[in-house]
Amino acid sequence: MLAGLARSGFLPTVWQPPQQVELLRRRSAYHQALGRQMTRIKNRLHAVLARHLVEVPVRDLFSDKGRAFLRGAEVPEDEKLQIELDLHLLETIEEARETARKELARLAHAHPRAQLLMSIPGIGYTTAIGILGAIGEIGRFSEPRKLVSYFGLNPIVHQSAQRCYTGRISKQGRCHARWLLVEAAHCAVRPAGPLRGFFLRIKARKGTNVAVVAAARKLTVIIWHMLTSGEPYRWAPERTTREKLGLMHYHATGIRRKGGVPKGTPRPAGYGTGVRSRTVRAARDKERLARAQGDYERLVKERAKSPRPPEIT
């Protein structure tokens, strides 16, 4: 019976990720696991100081001054041994995590779609590799809501007769990618743009936590459109994106990108006269926001004319 159903095409097939996608998943999961281990060690060190009511005089306990304070803290001898061993273990894991981060940077440096996702505020090369590893081939998802459901960010629906209730998100699917999207949403809603406006509207009605998760769902829809069309994020801050790409290039190759005017460029006509040759930052930002606002208004007009508007707006 199973053979007959398979021959007729009635059995659904399972997508097997290729070796490159499996590599992205393993590298991203290992980087996250190292971060969790570092958090456990730091919590243990905080607990040692709290048990003996030791006040921390430095702002960052794990800076150079903070670690020197930890090694000389007035605690019992057995606790001093634990502090020394935990600090040694923390330094070892930090070195391993730095190596894993450089490997992620090399993977993102050779992956054009990772650099495309990095145009979104809050998504660096580590987050981009984790999201791409979870998605695999974007062609598997014919519409954005299927990708949202794959990440478990869709709300649970309870229906009975003529009543319909929506509850919390389903939390089914890849939890690692869902965590990455929620963390990225915290930063993505800070710059001015439609995503921040959407976040503020939900926050006023349902609170910050629900609004962040809703922004993560909206971010998933935006990612689907970006990977499908190959276009960068329209509201991307140019300076932030340039800094993220430069940091990725440095971690991947060890070479810093040279900024400023290229060698051999002639001096401007107003050089030495005291007249500014560069655009004032406030005016440049105002011009960029006005240009983005015009693009947004154009999209709204196209949506009003289109019979089936795109979900990105």
User: What does the domain layout of the chain look like in residue ranges?
Assistant: 18-110, 112-255
> Which residues sit opposite 169 in a β-bridge?
155
Predicted model pTM: 0.78
H or E stretch including 168?
A: strand 163-169
User: What are the pLDDT digits (tens) for 62-106?
Assistant: 999 999 999 999 999 989 999 999 999 999 999 999 999 999 999
Query: Among the listed ranges 22-36, 155-169, 276-290, which one has the minimum average pLDDT value?
Result: 276-290
Confidence of residue 303 (pLDDT cuts 50, 70, 90): low
Q: Using CA atoms, how far apart are residues 298 and 292, in angstroms rounded to an integer?
A: 10
Q: For position 299, what pLDDT does the model report? A: 62
Q: For position 313, what pLDDT does the model report? A: 44
For residue 309, pLDDT beyond 50:
no
If you search the block for the tokens 């609004």, which residue do you land on?
211
Angle CA 248–135–15, to nearest 5:
140
Q: For position 34, what pLDDT does the model report? A: 96
Task: Give CA separation, 249 vs 41, 77, 95, 121, in Å.
Answer: 31, 46, 20, 18
User: What are the pLDDT digits (tens) for 125-172?
Assistant: 999 999 999 999 999 999 999 999 999 998 888 888 888 888 888 888
Q: Using CA atoms, how far apart are residues 146 and 167, in angstroms rounded to an integer?
A: 18
Handedness of CA 220, 225, 226, 232 (dihedral sign): negative
H or E stretch including 156?
A: strand 155-160
